[in-house]
Amino acid sequence: MSDLILPIYMDYLATTPVDRRVLDCMLPHFCESYGNASSATHSFGQKAAMSVAQARQQVASLLNAREREVLFTSGATEANNLALKGVADWVKRGHIITAKTEHKAVLDVCKMLEGRGFRLTHLNVDSAGRIDLNALDQAITSDTVLVSLMAANNEVGTLHPLAEIGALCKARGVLFHCDGAQAVGKIEIDVESMGIDLLSLSGHKLYAPKGVGALYVRSRSPRVRIMEQTVGGGQERGLRAGTLNVPGIVGLGRACEIAGASLREEGARLIALRNRLHDRITSRLDGCGFNGCEQERLPGHLSLSFSGVSGTELISDLRDIALSSGAACSSDTPVPSHVLSAMGRSDMEAQSTLRFGMGRFTVQSEVDYVADRVVGLVESLRVGVRDNGENEYTEKTVAI
């Protein structure tokens, strides 16, 4: 492993590096082709507008959407806000269904809408993080206007059955919004075959820069109507005002094009690396708990709990490896993961969890190094616990 370069990055679920091919497409739009895409009276603006149009096509192609159905945003959080608040402001009242394991960018918006008078239902999940389709069907009532369920969970990688959810929502005449931030570019997302009406995505999860994302809004069968949340310029068909981030949008488009061209091959490669990491850790350590759905999960995602140790203690000692003990967006909150809690994990189990995120630039030698380091450190920490007179695998209460 002498060719390894430390530290090793294994937190691709939190963010990804910008692919060099993406950066190369972006660079001319900073100092050369720097026009405002709304300035249609001269060549600088016209060229910028053409670049945005190409990026819109690239994003739409990855989703099997129409170009006019793609709205550019600053990221998935804004896209989620625009989707949920936009629908709510259009219909004025009604019932919204989501799940207890959604990202805070959805849960917090739903909580806000509940304060405005919308009725809210949070679906339970099973021990693998999956919803019950029958429970979803039973939760839908005559005043249900929107179902919001993510494609892939950021903490445990579990995939929701999007096509089945979409078919159910369509049969009941309810809109289906999907937070696709973790899934787009990693697994196949087809908004037509899956019956998705609104979908949010983020550039920095698929090797584009931070600060750019998109919202897909279905234009027919049915035509989805949303109210704009930012006004002041009329950009993006009047639904999202503000000068377009041309370099970021160009990068997002190129990133979608690259991801689409290698989706299956890259997925298979990451599954092999993920399984290798899992096997090299669990074959040598007792007391390892797997979190998520073994069959239906993201290719490069692995969540493991280690009895008798603290995830944050592990991370603090693994300074040569970038890992997460939970969702990056809430890693500074001193409470157990709401996702793991909803899946029935105890506070101790949640506190002993590490999330491994592999991506495009992860190689096998890095996986082997990480496995060896984790196994060695867990064994060392457990010996320390036993030497302190505690029972084997007794878990210490540690705030995360």
For residue 215, give the nearest of 177, 166, 251 by alpha carbon: 177
CA 356 to chain centre: 14
Hey, is 117 helix, strand or coil? coil
The residue among 109, 108, 160 whose CA lies nearest residue 298 is 160
CA angle 346, 330, 14 (to 5 degrees): 105
The number of beta carbons lying within 10 Å of the beta carbon of residue 31 is 7
Nearest to 205 by CA among 378, 329, 48: 329
Question: 249 and 58 in contact (C-beta within 8 Å)?
Answer: no
Q: Which amino acid is at 344?
A: G
Give the distance, in angstroms, between the CA of residue 80 and the centroid of all CA atoms in the same chain. Answer: 12
- Two structure tokens written together for 203: 């550039």
Question: In this structure, are residues 101 and 339 in contact, taking their beta carbons and an 8 Å threshold?
Answer: yes
> Which residues form the catalytic set?
329
